[in-house]
Amino acid sequence: MTDKVTTMPDWRPQGSLSIYQGSTVHSSGTTYFLVRSGADDSKLLAVHGDTSGFQGTQLGAGEPLLCPLTPAHAAVLRGRLSWLSPVTLGLQTSAGFGDRLGLATPGHVRAIRRLPAAATSVAPIFAQQSVRENARTGRTPQQVLDDATWGLLEEGWCGPWGADADHLKTPAATEDFAAAGYTFFTVDPGDCVDDGAQVAAFSELEGKVRALPWDALEDSRQDLETRYLGNSYVVDGPAQVFDREMLWRAAAKYGAAVGHAAAMYRHIESRMENRPFELEVSVDETASTTSLAEHYYIATELRRLGVRWISLAPRFVGRFEKGVDYVGDLEIFSQQFAQHASLARELGPYKLSLHSGSDKFSIYSIAARLTTGGSAENPGSLVHLKTAGTSYLEALRTVSRVDGALFREILAYARECYEVDRATYHVSAQLEKVPGAEGLSDAELPDLLEQFDARQVLHVTFGSVLDRFGEPLRATLRRFEESHYSGLEAHFVRHLTPFVG
């Protein structure tokens, strides 16, 4: 039997220790809670009752065992408290929270809890990190999951949540995520997309189609044309009929990507060993937008190959740059997004995923409104919002307010690293538009987190900055964790409220 305990255990912490009041839970005769040491801002797990599987320090008879927050202890805790393990979330409106520092989950939880009461809400993915991000932060998939686990215990979260292995490009990249217990896998076959097919002369297309990996697609050009040519699909208007040029462009552009996504799906399925999981297919980090015919081709071919997916991230019109609002014509975006949403309902239903979704405030209400009404079981919006770097920027905002000297050092170093670090990101910030911190007062430093160019420079240099300033940055956030959590809470309430209906 498990009870969420709302009163403090009958234990008075000694010295500088204090209890996180929301963390206490009682299960099968054992009580668990987190404590904080005022001496060094570190955290410990307190276990009172059955301490098998835990190792730590017991200060006296009848006292709880105080244990370090290790991977082994996180695993034991997840085995005992089932809600601390991620699960699949289905077609419910959802949002992913990237956490590059491993300290943001309590703020994310508070934001979810602050959302207005509604018939439909937002299902959270509290552990989300890509291979690229882990490489730059020096973290592992297990560490990301464990950091989320401790944050959830700290805040007393007992609801369902997911864990996303983001932007997976190779089968090998999935291994550690599957072993750690992730439930959501975002495959990114973007390297297989041929953007040139969208503008190639018709005479070039035949060669591109002939060169497709037909074995991987379990198909042939003749069979492909038999299925599509002359057939039509309807998207909020007149039927669209596939002719040879439309089909060849779609197949030449996305055929290899479809084959790779199917191979990735099968590999993940084999590694999950009958454990439930959800798949997202992402082609958003490419140079050209995904047309409706191409969307139809991708979904239809994935389904033919037996792939089951919960969400798709096309390359939408406009620019989804890191850390800033949507750049583009909102009317055109709205028109095209509505058509993609119609296809997702017709061919699935499945969710449309907004990648680089951080801070895209101008399109949230549009996306939520146009994806509403997926099914009787899931009447909310068929949309998934994916955020990552914005939590890191909120951490920097906290530092700018409480430790101006450290923030100035970080900004100066980010300016040095920007031209190199920007290479793998879609950003347009101009370094000369980012003011040097030496010309700003301490009171003006937080304002840089509202400036387009400064946000992007700080956003994409996170790996370099953490290599040099990771320890003092984390120490500052631990020392001022309530300010950090409060900033995250307010920031994500603004992100999520448009999706609550």
Instruction: Look up residue 404 and give its two tokens.
Output: 């101006």
Q: Which residue has the tokens 């979904």?
A: 299
- Report CA torsion sign: 436, 468, 454, 419: positive
What angle is formed at CA 496 by the lines to CA 491 and CA 499, rounded to 5 degrees? 160
The answer for residues whose C-beta is within 8 angstroms of residue 498's C-beta and 6 or more apart is 364, 365, 368
**Alpha helices in 104-233, H assignment, sequence order:** 105-114, 131-137, 141-155, 171-180, 202-210, 214-217, 221-228
Please indicate whether residue 280 is annotated as part of the active site: yes
Q: Are the beta carbons of 247 and 228 closer than 8 angstroms?
A: yes
Alpha carbon 342 to its chain's center: 24
Kindly compute the dihedral angle of the four CA atoms of residues 209, 210, 212, 216, in this order, to the nearest 10 degrees.
Answer: 130
> What burial class does residue 28 get, using C-beta atoms within 10 Å of its C-beta: 0-12 exposed, 13-18 middle, 19+ buried?
exposed
CB atoms within 10 A of CB 337: 24
The catalytically annotated residue of 164, 166, 188, 453 is 166
Please report, for residues 170, 357, 411, 438, the alpha-carbon distance to residue 451 in angstroms, rounded to integers and kept in the order given: 36, 18, 13, 17
> Measured between alpha carbons, how far is 187 from 314 in angstroms, rounded to an integer?
12
- Report yes or no: 235 and 292 within 8 Å, Cβ to Cβ: yes
Phi, psi of 25 (to 5 degrees): -140, 145
Lookup result for tokens 């570190």: 42
133 vs 96, 128, 167, 419, 427, CA distance in Å? Answer: 14, 10, 10, 18, 16
Beta bridge partners of 281: 187, 312
AA letter at 294: E
Greatest pairwise CA separation for the chain in angstroms: 83
* 168 contacts 281 by C-beta, under 8 angstroms: no
Contact of 81 with 368, CB cutoff 8 Å? no
The b-or-e profile of 116-136 (16+ CB within 10 A means b, else e) is eeeebbbbbbbbbbbbbbbeb
Q: Is 166 a catalytic residue?
A: yes
The whole-angstrom separation of Cα 77 and Cα 368 is: 36
CA proximity to 157, closest of 123, 117, 120, 118: 123
The CA radius of gyration of the chain, in Å to the nearest whole number, is 24
Out of 146, 280, 321, 481, the active site residue is 280
Active-site residues, by number, are 166, 280
